[in-house]
Amino acid sequence: MSITIVGGGISGLSLAYYLLEKEPKLDILILEAEKRPGGKIWTDRVDGYLCESGVNGFLDNKPRTLEFIKALSLEPLRSYDASQKRYIYKKGKLYRLPESPAEFLSSGLISPCGKGRLLFEILTPRGSDEDETLASFARRRLGKEAYEMFIDPMASGVYAGDPERLSIRSCFPRIYQLERDYGSLFKALYRLQREAKKTGRKVGPSPGGRLTSFYEGMGTVIKKLKEYLSNKIKTSSKVLGIERRNERYHLHTSSQEEVITERVVFACPAHEAEEIFKDFDRRFAHELSQIPYPPVTVVCLGYRIEDISHSLDGFGFLVPGVEKRRILGTLWDSSIFPNRAPEGSVLLRTMVGGARNPDLALMDDKDLLQTVREELDHIMGLDAEPELVRLYRHERAIPQYNLGHHRIVDELDRLCNSTDGIYLTGNAYRGIGFNDCIENSFSLSQRISEELGIN
């Protein structure tokens, strides 16, 4: 049985791994458009600094991912304890994100009125719509201030998205379902805590877990998968089109090669799959075109530690949209994991652009660097000259799960189920994180194996 996987990011690579673990004799080929596999996971080692161009870790709360890492004989690296401290920028000051009721009550992030408004969450009626924007949901349940200071920056930090468009149902399905099940987030938290005491298991509305990576960065897992899959990966091979002839799929590639295969898995970004499907099945192309990818640029700056007046005691900070700043936030990478900067130096990683300010991500290098440095000076009092500068541009960065995303996914599922031998996977559909990609690859490998009669 021949299976071709279009896209050599973590979704395509992990799917190939799972399939070959079940049946080593499968004829699998991975076609990757870029010169290297890995997609948005790429670790760059420069002058003693370790820069992540995209994904910088995963939460260690998913057994599937931990089993996957163990099977690859990799050693996970948990983040420093201090990285649990996270900050929000507000009116010229960084406020620590409260982690307990006592910290919340004393926090200056929202006013006494805003804190009082939260108490009415328990009286707020359950939502009646099948979907709702993240902004609407948060304002309705938690109030305007809590939305602006807590929920809005979280949306920027995770999705680089616009909460006025993002879907609560698709982006944060756990929270969406808790309201459906309990009618109130506070009621849900209370009952989940009671359940936790009875069962001894940690439960709650938040995902939990500790940010985890590897000593040599997230690129470690791509390197290991590349070694495992070896000659099954073909890079610099962009798929341009697809045809169905004689019960086989014919893939036309940029290298003028025609790949003939019995089954095709599209593990590439939705916008790339859309281009391939345009002349094959416009129904697929139409649905895929509705998943936008705004641009984001990651700016890594390295400094000598004596040039930094800030303690950098924590994970970093996010900026609420209401503050009208020109960056989404900054991670203090060398305070999160070891081996990110040479001794005596620190590494900061700033995100620019996203759904609300896409043009900022597309500025030329000089203007973009100046913008980031001005923002860091304003927010952190950092006006020193960096000893390292690296910019990583993603013209189409993170897929946006906007209002109604679940209907797009449902229709794509229907189309796949009615088209023999075509599959879709990746972070455009059911979760954007590393853990989601691993879980979805495992599930799809199970489905394909069952279809092929592989035990």
Q: What percent of the chain has pLDDT over 70?
A: 98
Q: Is beta strand 388-394 parallel, antiparallel or unpaired with respect to 296-304?
A: antiparallel
**Amino acid 207: pLDDT:** 59
- Mean of the pLDDT values across residues 241-252? 94
Task: Output the pLDDT for position 277.
Answer: 96
Confidence band for 119, pLDDT divided at 50, 70 and 90 = confident
**What is the rounded (10 degree) CA torsion for 252, 263, 236, 276?**
50
pLDDT at 87: 96
Which segments within 205-295 are labelled E, that is strand? Answer: 211-213, 233-234, 239-245, 248-253, 258-261, 263-266
Gap between the Cα atoms of 408 and 88, Å rounded: 33
Among 115, 118, 131, smallest CA distance to 175 is for 131
Average pLDDT over residues 348-353: 98
162, 151 contact by CB (below 8 A): no
pLDDT in tens, 261-302: 999 999 999 999 999 999 999 999 999 999 999 999 999 999
Round to whole Å and give the CA distance between 132 and 197.
Answer: 32
Domains (ranges, CATH) in the chain?
A: 2-36+220-291+401-452 (3.50.50.60), 110-199 (1.10.3110.10), 294-394 (3.90.660.20)
- Chain segment 189-217, per-residue pLDDT in tens: 888 888 777 666 555 555 578 999 999 99
pLDDT band at residue 186 using 50, 70 and 90 as cut-offs: confident
Amino acid 103: pLDDT: 85
pTM beyond 0.85: the answer is yes
Answer positive or negative: Cα dihedral of 113, 119, 125, 130.
Answer: positive
**DSSP one-letter string for 367-392:** HHHHHHHHHHHHHH---SPPSEEEEE
Q: Which of 341, 336, 339, 343 is nearest to 312 (CA)?
A: 336
The mean pLDDT value of the chain amounts to 94
